[in-house]
Amino acid sequence: MSFTKTKMNNSTFMKDELTVKILPSRNEMGKDAARDMVNKIKELLTEKEEINIIFAAAPSQNEFIDHMVSDKSVDWTKTNAFHMDEYVGMGINSPQGFGYFLKERLFDKVRFNTVNYINGQPDDIDKECERYSGLLEKNPVDILCLGIGENGHIAFNDPGTADFNDSKLVKYVDLEITSRQQQVNDGCFSSLENVPLKAITLTVPALLKAKYIFCVVPASTKANAVYRTLYGEINETCPATILRTKKNALLYLDSDSSKMLNSK
């Protein structure tokens, strides 16, 4: 597969149902995505008393989260927060855990109505999946904030385990080695051996129940996954391709993550 490298800074285009926005820098990308999301929150809160939001936990989301938190115009007390995955074996106070990541950067920074953590150390994993599924059913998702993995995963729906027609909302999965290595590349773990082998994740159908999707993907390490997401066949070999079927979904890129895109 060959790629045409062209500069597409400050570009907006459609790919199937997905809106793609390219910003010149990682900071501008996070700022633009945060502004759009905050505006959507405020719009939804004129229509309903509470809204439900799923957040991603990854260094790729740092600028997005920072700009979101710094905007004081949002009434977070009318929002219920969820996260999309958690390592099995990681407690809420484990620094590498996704719940901890969001607690430090978001959940402790603003006051939500509720914050709903996935328990990474349950006595019964199946029951924990059922518990969190029940929360999602009781609180239909309004907004999903996510990224894309180096292998094209969304949440921990890796190629090989992702199922676009999954009957479950939350499930227990084995992690593909590329997903585990990404955690080392991101500086979250010192070596591959330290990265957990299993996780609890929201499934693809659970994610796509969101009415609005904000997908934030910076860095050159994601450039290949971005290209495959936009120009590959829509199937589970690159789970993020499913975003192209979703109305009201936006993909935010910076100059590095978009460097393999051509101008078509």
Work out the average pLDDT over 57-72.
96
What per-residue confidence (pLDDT) applies to 174? 87
What per-residue confidence (pLDDT) applies to 248? 97
Strand partners, 51: 79
Contact assessment for residue 261 and residue 226, using Cβ atoms and an 8 Å cutoff: yes
Rounded Cα gap, residues 255 and 253, in angstroms: 7
Sequence letter at residue 51: I
The residue among 116, 157, 117 whose CA lies nearest residue 243 is 157
Of all residues in the chain, the percent with pLDDT exceeding 90 is 81
More reliable by pLDDT, 176 or 70: 70
pTM above 0.75, yes or no: yes
Each residue of 152-161: pLDDT tens digit? 999 999 998 9
Rounded Cα gap, residues 257 and 236, in angstroms: 21
Residue 3 DSSP class: -
Residue found under tokens 């907004």:
143
| CATH code of domain 17-218+249-253 | 3.40.50.1360
For the cut 50, the answer to whether the pLDDT of residue 264 exceeds it is no
Contact assessment for residue 209 and residue 170, using Cβ atoms and an 8 Å cutoff: no
Q: Three-state SS for 93?
A: coil
Give the confidence band of 262 by pLDDT, cuts at 50, 70, 90.
low
What per-residue confidence (pLDDT) applies to 4? 33
Q: Where do the domains of the chain lie?
A: 17-218+249-253
Each residue of 94-116: pLDDT tens digit? 788 899 999 999 999 999 999 99
Give the confidence band of 225 by pLDDT, cuts at 50, 70, 90.
very high
Contact assessment for residue 243 and residue 18, using Cβ atoms and an 8 Å cutoff: yes
For the cut 50, the answer to whether the pLDDT of residue 7 exceeds it is no
What per-residue confidence (pLDDT) applies to 194? 80
The overall average pLDDT reported for the chain is 92
For the cut 60, the answer to whether the pLDDT of residue 171 exceeds it is yes
Work out the average pLDDT over 73-79.
96
What per-residue confidence (pLDDT) applies to 95? 83
Contact assessment for residue 175 and residue 89, using Cβ atoms and an 8 Å cutoff: no
